[in-house]
Structure 1
């Protein structure tokens, strides 16, 4: 995407110091940016790079005052971080759209599938019978979209993703490479001879609007009903979401976490990497869980910070960790005291 500083300023409600006609082609880090690129300065620790950068334009706060002469055009905004986030999203969507400009002749789109306006389909992608893809959605190469799948407007689906039968994806969702939505839940029932018999998984997965799911994450379909990922949820790479799980609005989960079947996680939770949840639990809104914690009980009080395995109060866990690291020393002292008492 090529855009003048003036046009970009109108887009992001910025004021300009410098040449408004310079052309911006893309974003870059301030210490690496070159001609034609835009960067940003939000952290004062990086200010020294501003006087050396070869960037064409720099986003800064409205009250920023440079201490030395500078060459880039400055675009002044109210909140630099928020503006950068929105700008990166625009560039990302434009990049995906440029990659796929139309329905590829190498795609297999069933005659009963319906495509909205401006839908783009990449090479070797399969769109199965009675699937629906909403307006402005970009589906990149080698994606599989199963029968009766519904995908909303303005989504981006990266190469190798699989959305299996009957699943629903809302508007403005992003599914990264090799995501699997709607694989069978892990349901087995031992028979009288000790063999594990598969329980049919006849439900689906529902992703609400503005959900983003990282590469190689899997969300299993429900045994019956739906596995539900609520609006604004962000899942990192390599996460396993079991059948009939529900994740509340705007919850964020880091990589390698696992959620066992039928667990309900509340809204606005922050869950670190490698956290494990047992099944059939309820986790209150606003729960914060430290990385590598194990959750084996209901969390009923909202807003708690937890750590450890099994997890308990974060501050208590910190104190316990200090004591644990001193156990060898404490053991020696106890042994010495026992000898004194014996005498």
Structure 2
């Protein structure tokens, strides 16, 4: 994929995005051409890279332009150009999104299976061997990648991305026992509602509700191999990373961050803007804007406050 843009284009882009910057270097040439992107640990000539403030062996760095933090220790007598910003990774990610060629997805693959009474919006992509049940609704500009299974009565909004291997609308683990003590599956007759802008990573599972719907609100992102149980409600802009297990009837507030390997007991309320640490086992409600970690999970903010007192 051919990539070519000038330093002047990049600086104009940062300005349009509202990102303040300073440019440094022995020879700042605004017409310098950038032809790709590379990691600071494996740079290539004529590319754009990024760094924080770590120490580097500059003799092996080949990038042409580097986005860096304001306090980075920069070399002298170099042909490299440095763009200092407050959040270099974010600025680099925005540039990568803007200038890296995007693959175009369109249409419904001939091997996809579409059930009855489905409503599919404009410019939707459905990949090979994807299976849609009956009465599924998919909003415009949504991507359903290969091997996805979407059960009956699932609604997916616009501009969503559902990656390969995802299963949406399956029954959860909900059993009762009959008078003879034999376990039977309690019928799950609810659905799943996924709002606009949601992305769900590969091989994740979203179970349908037992009576009411499982809901994932707009712009939330779910990592690979994550399980969302029945009747869960995920708020807006939540970030649920890989291998998380979200117990049934859980309420997750807006703007939460859930680290990899986290496990949540059913029926909890996870407050808005809270952070859950790596591998935490959460068995109690989490207050808004708190940070919890450990097994069982405890508030790091409350522990810090008690030590200071």
Structure with greater Cα Rg: 1
Moved over 6 A (4+): 61-65, 75-78, 315-318
Among 107, 113, 116, the alignment partner of 1:103 is 107
Asked if 2 retains the 8 angstrom alpha-carbon contact of 1:307 and 1:317, the reply is no
Aligned-pair distance for 1:221? Answer: 0.9
TM-score (normalizing by structure 2): 0.77
| Structure showing the higher helix proportion among its residues | 1
Q: Secondary structure at the match of 2:103?
A: helix
- Across the aligned residues of Structure 1 and Structure 2, the Cα RMSD in angstroms comes to 3.5
In the alignment, the residues of structure 1 paired with residue 127 and residue 55 of structure 2 have an alpha-carbon distance, to the nearest angstrom, of 36
In the alignment, the residues of structure 1 paired with residue 12 and residue 224 of structure 2 have an alpha-carbon distance, to the nearest angstrom, of 35
Aligned-pair distance for 1:266? Answer: 1.7
Residue of structure 1 equivalent to 2:231: 244
Q: 1:141 to 1:54 in 2, by over 3 A?
A: farther
Q: Which sections of structure 1, spanning at least 5 residues, go unmatched?
A: 109-123, 319-343
Query: How do 1:183-202 and structure 2 match up within 5 A?
Result: 183-202=170-189
Aligned-pair distance for 1:77? Answer: 6.3
Asked if residue 39 in structure 1 is aligned to residue 49 in structure 2, the reply is yes
In the alignment, the residues of structure 2 paired with residue 77 and residue 291 of structure 1 have an alpha-carbon distance, to the nearest angstrom, of 28
Aligned-pair distance for 1:219? Answer: 0.8
Q: 1:86 to 1:315 in 2, by over 3 A?
A: closer
Aligned-pair distance for 1:46? Answer: 5.2
Residue of structure 1 equivalent to 2:307: none
Residue of structure 2 equivalent to 1:303: 289
Aligned length: 294
In the alignment, the residues of structure 2 paired with residue 293 and residue 12 of structure 1 have an alpha-carbon distance, to the nearest angstrom, of 37
Asked if residue 30 in structure 1 is aligned to residue 51 in structure 2, the reply is no
Aligned-pair distance for 1:158? Answer: 3.4
Aligned-pair distance for 1:284? Answer: 2.3
Residue of structure 1 equivalent to 2:153: 166
Q: 1:283 to 1:22 in 2, by over 3 A?
A: closer
Q: Which sections of structure 2, spanning at least 5 residues, go unmatched?
A: 305-309
Which deviations, in whole Å up to 9, do the C-alpha atoms of 1:189-222 show, x marking residues without a partner?
Answer: 2111122222222222122223222222111111
